């Protein structure tokens, strides 16, 4: 029985080492307008915590920013955040994401796939190169007013590096 358990554990470790790392948008930082009010911040935090996809939320009134961490398997829905803040007259000026995923080329365009989310990569002169053969962790700024959403890359790291 003990040998069988050890073999099962070894098989699980081997399988985990060949499977690609879990990919998704992991964190979203939002630059807001109007969240400097204590009541707006408190109500916003309660509403964010009620979202099934949200693991953690941190609100900074002084810098008018919101940081959200997602639960595994969740998708990034910026309109959901905009709708949540609209009744409080809080706007979102910018989304910055941290996501694990892969580059995909399709029809001459470059896309970043992060779990359920797909972003069109926006060309910038100083953007770091994204390897097409390995999973990466990308931090970037999202334009959610386009479809697919556009992603301007700020940093790229191989998955597993810190």
Asked whether the predicted pLDDT for residue 38 surpasses 60, the reply is yes
Whether 115 and 23 have beta carbons less than 8 Å apart is answered as: yes
Answer for the pair 59, 69: CB distance below 8 angstroms, yes or no: no
- Picking from 16-20, 84-88, 110-114, 116-120, which range would have the lowest pLDDT averaged per residue? 16-20
pLDDT, residue 7, reads 46
Nearest to 28 by CA among 161, 102, 117, 132: 117
Give percent of the chain with pLDDT exceeding 70: 85
Q: At what angle are helices 78-85 and 38-49 packed, to 10 degrees?
A: 140
Query: Are the C-beta atoms of 40 and 34 separated by less than 8 Å?
Result: yes
Q: What is the pTM of this model?
A: 0.82
The mean pLDDT of the chain is 86
pLDDT at 56: 97
Q: What is the largest CA-CA distance in the chain?
A: 62
E-strand spans in 75-148? 91-106, 109-114, 117-121, 136-143
Given this model, what pLDDT does residue 22 score? 75
Count other Cβ atoms within 10 Å, centred on residue 147.
8
Specify the range with the lowest mean pLDDT, choosing from 57-71, 98-112, 122-136.
Answer: 122-136
Q: Which residues pair with 73 in a beta bridge?
A: none
CATH number for 29-95: choose from 3.40.91.10, 3.40.50.2020, 3.40.50.300, 3.30.70.100: 3.30.70.100
Residue 6 has pLDDT above 70, yes or no: no
Mean pLDDT of 31-43: 91
Could you tell me the two tokens for 115? 């779990």
Worst-scoring range by mean pLDDT, 48-57, 68-77, 94-103, 132-141? 132-141
Give the pLDDT of residue 148. Answer: 93
pLDDT(160) > 80: no
CA gap 11, 96 in Å, rounded: 38
């Amino acid at each position: 029985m003990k040998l069988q358990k050890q073999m099962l554990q070894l098989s699980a470790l081997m399988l985990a080492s060949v499977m690609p790392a879990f990919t998704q948008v992991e964190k979203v930082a939002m630059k807001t307008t109007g969240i400097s009010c204590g009541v707006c911040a408190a109500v916003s935090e309660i509403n964010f915590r009620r979202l099934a996809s949200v693991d953690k939320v941190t609100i900074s009134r002084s810098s008018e920013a919101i940081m959200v961490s997602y639960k595994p398997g969740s998708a990034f829905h910026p309109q959901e955040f905009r709708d949540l803040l609209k009744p409080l007259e809080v706007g979102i000026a910018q989304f910055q994401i941290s996501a694990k995923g892969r580059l995909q080329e399709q029809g001459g365009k470059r896309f970043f796939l992060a779990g359920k989310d797909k972003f069109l990569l926006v060309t910038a002169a100083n953007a770091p190169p994204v390897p097409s053969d390995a999973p990466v962790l990308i931090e970037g700024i999202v334009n959610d007013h386009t479809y697919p959403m556009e992603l301007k890359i700020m940093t790229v790291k191989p998955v597993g590096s810190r």
